[in-house]
């Protein structure tokens, strides 16, 4: 009945809100549920956890059926092999950090324990906090303990509900690397709810875009971010993510070369070793287009690309151009006048000048 991956069909009606989703999600990697507040992304997560019950629903996680209302199956939350991290860590105030961590772990049969205590401590850097009380921890520490506590149940699915939303930028930067490590080191699929495009760009492999309880789009991160029919969702933040590898350090000019499928770009010298994978965001507003390869320009990063399509934006003066740079999607936001003057149309070979690249992480 189930298939590899996560199948989630929920419909739920509440006063002033209707949720209607039908999702086929990958059974591995990080899937981001992205949308504005009120889009229903947290409700979807709570339905997956069984904390909320959709009136009509079907949910299977890698071959295990957790809910199927057509045959009256609804597995209560505590029987689902999942880990859940709330927006505020929700540690038990009456237990020490160690007892909090052990709470879930000791309720899992020995044979199912795959994440070792020390491994979780090391992964989240909380070895020194074990004897502390939750109220004595900083927000970032609490959240890390919350994540470790969820991991220690060796879940088959990890659910993160805006785990960084309650933290300031400094704390976010403190936790993001740990989340990246989860992604890289554990084979647990993660559903990540967020309204921050930066977090999504940094962590996600797959993107689900929600609005008013409906799925507006879903697909692999890079392709979905480059879609032209979703300008409202991203607005001024429209842009793509490049998955790059550190290819060369050119010390003479203090530059680092990043290679991606379809080209390479230079950024100011990076500390990461050769071969390390890094993600970059390229905003559409930072990409301009030219018909001929420019020779006399101060712009360093110029990649050849083919025009895939053009779309209007909410600002009438601007259009959004979808490009294919040797297999990697790019977006460029240019003025309507330039678009007309250059005669930009699908299939045109063109040069994309990238003015700015934001490295994530």
CB of 160 to other proteins, least distance (A): 12
CB of 123 to other proteins, least distance (A): 18
Which of 84, 178, 260, 351 touches other proteins by CB under 8 A? 84
Instruction: Indicate whether 127 belongs to the interface with other proteins (CB under 8 A).
Output: no
Strands 30-34 and 190-194: parallel
Interface of this chain with other proteins, residues 206 to 225, rule: CB under 8 A: none
Instruction: Indicate whether 192 belongs to the interface with other proteins (CB under 8 A).
Output: no
Which of 1, 71, 72, 107 touches other proteins by CB under 8 A? 107
Which of 32, 49, 289, 319 touches other proteins by CB under 8 A? 49
Spell out the residues 6+ positions from residue 236 whose beta carbon is closer than 8 angstroms to its own: 285
* Tokens 């290819």 -> residue: 247
Q: Which long-range contacts (CB under 8 A, 24 or more apart) does 108-115 make?
A: 108/152, 108/153, 108/154, 112/81, 112/154, 113/154, 114/154, 115/151, 115/152, 115/154, 115/186
Residue nearer to other proteins on the CB measure, 88 or 324? 88
**171/194 Cα distance (integer angstroms):** 16
Interface of this chain with other proteins, residues 297 to 336, rule: CB under 8 A: none
Residue 90 is classified by DSSP as -
Instruction: Indicate whether 108 belongs to the interface with other proteins (CB under 8 A).
Output: yes
**219/334 Cα distance (integer angstroms):** 26
Residue nearer to other proteins on the CB measure, 10 or 86? 86
**Which one of 90-98, 163-171, 186-194, 263-271 is the stretch in contact with other proteins (CB under 8 A)?**
90-98
**Which one of 10-18, 26-34, 74-82, 331-339 is the stretch in contact with other proteins (CB under 8 A)?**
74-82
Which of 31, 39, 67, 153 touches other proteins by CB under 8 A? 153
Residue nearer to other proteins on the CB measure, 86 or 178? 86
Spell out the residues 6+ positions from residue 171 whose beta carbon is closer than 8 angstroms to its own: 138, 139, 140, 143, 164
CB of 219 to other proteins, least distance (A): 28
**Which one of 89-97, 190-198, 258-266, 269-277 is the stretch in contact with other proteins (CB under 8 A)?**
89-97
**149/177 Cα distance (integer angstroms):** 18
Residue nearer to other proteins on the CB measure, 108 or 348? 108
Residue nearer to other proteins on the CB measure, 10 or 234? 10
- Backbone φ and ψ for 14, nearest 5 degrees, come out as -135, 165
**97/109 Cα distance (integer angstroms):** 21
CB of 86 to other proteins, least distance (A): 7
**243/264 Cα distance (integer angstroms):** 11
Which of 76, 177, 327, 346 touches other proteins by CB under 8 A? 76
Which of 15, 70, 71, 93 touches other proteins by CB under 8 A? 93
**195/272 Cα distance (integer angstroms):** 28
Joined tokens for residue 303 = 């990649």
**232/336 Cα distance (integer angstroms):** 18
Q: If DSSP codes are grouped into helix, strand and coil, which group holds residue 92?
A: coil
Which of 82, 246, 267, 280 touches other proteins by CB under 8 A? 82
Which of 34, 86, 234, 260 touches other proteins by CB under 8 A? 86
CB of 217 to other proteins, least distance (A): 29
**25/297 Cα distance (integer angstroms):** 44
CB of 99 to other proteins, least distance (A): 10
Q: How many CB atoms lie within 10 A of CB 340?
A: 10
CB of 299 to other proteins, least distance (A): 50
The contact set with other proteins (CB under 8 A) reads 49-51, 76-79, 82-84, 86, 88, 90-94, 103-104, 107-108, 135, 149-150, 153, 159
């Amino acid at each position: 009945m189930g298939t590899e991956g996560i199948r989630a069909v929920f419909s739920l009606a509440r006063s002033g809100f209707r949720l209607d989703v039908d999702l086929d999600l990958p059974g591995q990697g990080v899937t981001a549920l992205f949308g504005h507040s009120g889009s229903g992304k947290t409700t979807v997560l709570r339905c997956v956890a069984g904390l909320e019950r959709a009136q009509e629903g079907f949910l299977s996680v890698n071959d295990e059926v957790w809910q199927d209302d057509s045959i009256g199956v609804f597995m209560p939350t505590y029987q689902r092999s999942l880990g859940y991290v709330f927006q505020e860590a929700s540690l038990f105030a009456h237990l020490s950090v160690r007892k909090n961590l052990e709470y879930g772990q000791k309720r899992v049969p020995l044979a199912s324990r795959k994440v070792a205590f020390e491994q979780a401590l090391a992964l989240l850097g909380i070895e020194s906090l074990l004897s502390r009380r939750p109220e004595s921890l900083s927000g970032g520490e609490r959240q890390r303990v919350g994540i470790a506590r969820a991991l220690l149940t060796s879940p088959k699915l990890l659910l993160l509900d805006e785990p960084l939303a309650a933290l300031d930028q400094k704390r976010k930067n403190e936790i993001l690397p740990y989340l990246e490590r989860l992604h890289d080191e554990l084979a647990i699929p993660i559903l990540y709810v967020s309204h921050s495009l930066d977090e999504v760009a940094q962590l996600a492999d797959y993107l689900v875009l929600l609005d008013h309880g409906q799925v507006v789009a879903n697909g692999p991160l890079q392709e979905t971010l480059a879609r032209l029919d979703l300008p409202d969702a991203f607005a001024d933040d429209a842009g793509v993510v490049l998955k790059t590898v550190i290819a060369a350090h050119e010390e003479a000019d203090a530059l680092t070369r990043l290679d991606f499928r379809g080209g390479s770009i230079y950024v100011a010298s990076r500390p990461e070793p050769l071969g390390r994978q890094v993600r970059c965001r390229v905003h559409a507003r930072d990409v301009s287009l030219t018909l001929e390869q420019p020779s006399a320009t101060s712009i360093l990063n110029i990649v050849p690309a083919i025009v895939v399509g053009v779309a209007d934006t909410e600002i009438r003066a601007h259009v959004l151009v979808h490009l294919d740079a040797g297999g990697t999607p790019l977006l460029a936001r240019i003025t309507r006048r330039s678009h007309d003057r250059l005669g930009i149309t699908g299939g045109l070979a063109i040069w994309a000048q990238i003015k700015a690249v934001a490295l994530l992480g």
